[in-house]
Amino acid sequence: RTRITMLDRLITVFYWFMVRTWIALLMTIAARLDVKGMENLPKKGPVILVSNHFNTADPPVITYVLPRRIVWMAKQELFDTPALGTVFRMLGLIPVRRFEADLKALRRAQQALKRGQVLGMFPEGTRSSGRGLTEGEPGSAVIALRTGAPILPVAIWGTENVKLPRDFFRRTRASVRIGEPFHLPETKRVTKEQVADGTRAIMERIAELLPEKYRGVYGPAEPGSVTQPS
């Protein structure tokens, strides 16, 4: 278990200050939340939170809903703007170069789990804008297989058509569903096949929590379609 540093304690204080002030105010004014499955969130210990991603509103909603600090992994581009990047770093977010092997981000993610924190990830790697789930990227499965941490599937919808500032005072109804934690099979050496199987398992758990119309490529096959052998 990695020792929690003074810097991380300061980040935690800043995180909760932001959540309990402007994020809480934003949620009160702009959203009506329907949350189910909160009892599935482990009260302590390392957890990999995985969720679908429709809109930029998703992270603030999930952050507000969950009573544990989430160490989000976020695309590197968000950190390239000096002011915004500084705020994200102060919140403890982990920058990640998408669609490539970012070993530095991987190490930081593993360190967060060793500290017993909740690591937040969007396995699709980008927003789907309400079109339904797209193919998952392997990062979440790799981290889960390497650390043995439990995976917490989360689904969110209702945010797909939100546009700010247009919808700030419309009180959008957003739904959040928290599934039961699960583990990927233990392994001594992570293989490509295990990562592929783990990625599908993660995405299918998220899909189970979503209404059918949002399940995308993880939804039921079209009538008359032919499943190709793997």
- pLDDT score of 50 more than 90: yes
The per-residue pLDDT for 186 is 83
- pLDDT score of 169 more than 90: no
At 127-158, the pLDDT tens digits run 887 789 999 999 999 999 999 999 999 999 99
pLDDT band at 222 (very low <50, low <70, confident <90, very high): low
**Longest distance between any two alpha carbons in the chain, whole Å:** 59
Q: Are the beta carbons of 95 and 199 closer than 8 angstroms?
A: no
Q: Are the beta carbons of 47 and 15 closer than 8 angstroms?
A: no
Q: Which of 186, 178, 122 is nearest to 149 (CA)?
A: 186
pLDDT band at 62 (very low <50, low <70, confident <90, very high): very high
Q: How many CA atoms lie within 13 A of 117 on its CB side?
A: 26
SS3 content of the chain, % helix, strand, coil (to 5): 40, 15, 40
The per-residue pLDDT for 225 is 45
186/156 Cα distance (integer angstroms): 29
Cis peptide leading into residue 165 (ω within 30°): yes
